[in-house]
C-alpha cells in the first residue's frame, strides 16, 4: 500500500449499501474512487457504471475475506442499525466486526471509516455536553455493540496499525423530526463531508468523532477530533420553528426526553 493517504481511491468498499445512509452515500462516494464496491446481505439491484456488487453476510468469515480483497479503504455502514434482540446484533455487529477487521488486516487495507453511533453514549443527559473522550454509556444492546466496534478498532490500530475513524453518527436525515434531533441532526451533505474527511485526513490512528451538523444547541463537543478536518456547513436552526410548533411541550420526567439517546433508552427486550 502507498503510505501516502490518497484523495481518490482505486477501489472503495461501501457496506450496508442498501440501507438508509448507504443509498444516500452510494452516488456521492462514487466521485472519490475509480471503482465503488457495494455490499449488503440481500439483493439490492445491479451495479452501475464504475460499481461492483458483492452480497455478503457479515457473520460469514469467508464472505468477508472475499469482499475485502483488492480494497483500498472501507466505509462500513453494514450491520444492525436499530435496537433489537441480542442474537442478530451479536451476529452482525460483534462477529461481523471481527470478521471485517480480520479480513482488512489480511488484505492490508489501510483505513476503515466505521459507522458507530451516538447510542454509545445514549444514557448521558441532554443537559450535558460530552466529548469523544468521555466514558461510554450505551443505551441498549445496539449501543453496546457499537462500543465494542470502537474498542475493536482501537485494538487493530494498536496491534496492527490499521487506521479507523469511528463516526458516532447522530441523526442523518433530510430534516430533523423532533426537538431532540435539533441537536443531533446531520444533513446528508454534512454526512458526505464527514465521511470524506475521515477517508482522507493524513493521520488518524483510531479517532472518534460525533456526526452532527453545525447546530445551535448540541450535546457533543468535537474539538478533540479537530485533526480529522470535518467542518459542517449546515444547521438545524432553519427547521427550529417548524419542529417546535410540531412539538410544543416536552415531558421532562420521560427518560426519552431526558437522555441523549432518546427513544433508544427504553427500546428492546432483555428477557
Per-residue pLDDT of 125-158, as tens digits, reads 999 999 999 999 999 999 999 999 999 999 999 9
Q: Is 104 left (phi over 0), alpha (psi -120 to 50) or beta?
A: alpha
Greatest CA separation found in the chain? Answer: 55
Residues 194-218 as b/e (b if ≥16 CB within 10 A, e otherwise) read bbbbbbbbeebebbbbbbbbebeeb
Task: Give the model confidence (pLDDT) of 209-240 as tens digits.
Answer: 999 999 999 999 999 999 999 999 999 999 99
- Are residues 254 and 180 in contact, defined by beta-carbon separation less than 8 angstroms? no
Domains of the chain by range and CATH?
9-266 (3.40.50.720)
Percent of the chain with pLDDT over 90: 95
1 pLDDT above the threshold of 90: no
Cα 230 from Cα 212, distance rounded (Å): 10
pLDDT tens digits along 100-124 = 999 999 999 999 999 999 999 999 9
Instruction: Write out the catalytic residue numbers.
Output: 142
Give me the residues paired with residue 220 across strands: 130
Q: What per-residue confidence (pLDDT) applies to 10?
A: 96
What cell was used for 184?
A: 443531533
Ramachandran quadrant class, 262 (left: phi over 0; alpha: psi -120 to 50; beta: rest) = left
Mean pLDDT, all residues of the chain: 96
Q: Which pLDDT belongs to residue 7?
A: 81
Percent with pLDDT over 70 in the chain: 97
- Altogether, the residues listed in the chain come to a count of 271
| Residues 41, 37: Cα–Cα separation, whole Å | 14
Weakest mean pLDDT among 4-8, 37-41, 54-58: 4-8
pLDDT classification of 269: cutoffs 50, 70, 90: low
Query: Which of 11, 106, 18 lies closest to 52, judged by CA?
Result: 11
Amino acid at each position: 500500500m502507498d503510505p501516502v493517504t490518497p484523495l481518490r481511491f482505486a477501489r472503495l468498499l461501501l457496506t450496508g449499501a442498501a440501507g438508509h445512509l448507504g443509498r444516500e452515500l452510494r452516488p456521492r462516494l462514487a466521485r472519490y474512487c475509480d471503482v465503488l464496491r457495494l455490499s449488503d446481505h440481500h439483493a439490492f439491484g445491479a451495479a452501475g457504471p464504475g460499481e461492483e456488487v458483492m452480497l455478503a453476510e457479515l457473520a460469514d468469515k469467508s464472505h468477508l475475506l472475499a469482499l475485502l480483497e483488492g480494497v483500498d479503504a472501507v466505509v462500513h455502514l453494514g450491520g444492525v442499525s436499530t435496537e433489537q434482540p441480542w442474537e442478530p446484533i451479536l451476529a452482525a455487529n460483534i462477529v461481523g466486526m471481527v470478521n471485517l477487521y480480520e479480513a482488512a488486516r489480511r488484505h492490508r487495507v489501510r483505513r476503515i471509516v466505521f459507522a458507530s453511533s451516538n447510542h454509545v453514549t445514549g444514557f448521558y443527559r441532554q443537559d450535558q455536553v460530552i466529548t469523544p473522550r468521555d466514558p461510554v454509556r450505551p443505551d441498549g444492546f445496539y449501543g453496546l455493540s457499537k462500543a465494542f466496534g470502537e474498542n475493536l478498532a482501537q485494538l487493530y490500530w494498536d496491534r496492527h496499525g490499521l487506521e479507523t475513524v469511528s463516526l458516532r453518527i447522530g441523526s442523518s436525515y433530510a430534516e430533523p423530526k423532533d426537538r431532540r434531533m435539533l441537536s443531533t441532526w446531520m444533513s446528508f451533505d454534512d454526512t458526505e463531508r464527514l465521511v470524506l474527511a475521515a477517508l482522507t485526513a493524513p493521520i488518524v490512528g483510531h479517532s472518534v468523532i460525533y456526526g452532527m451538523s453545525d447546530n445551535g444547541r448540541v450535546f457533543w463537543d468535537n474539538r478533540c477530533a479537530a485533526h480529522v478536518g470535518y467542518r459542517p456547513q449546515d444547521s438545524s436552526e432553519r427547521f427550529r420553528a417548524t419542529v417546535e410548533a410540531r412539538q410544543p411541550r416536552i415531558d421532562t420526567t420521560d427518560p426519552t426526553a431526558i437522555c441523549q439517546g432518546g427513544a433508544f433508552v427504553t427500546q428492546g427486550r432483555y428477557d
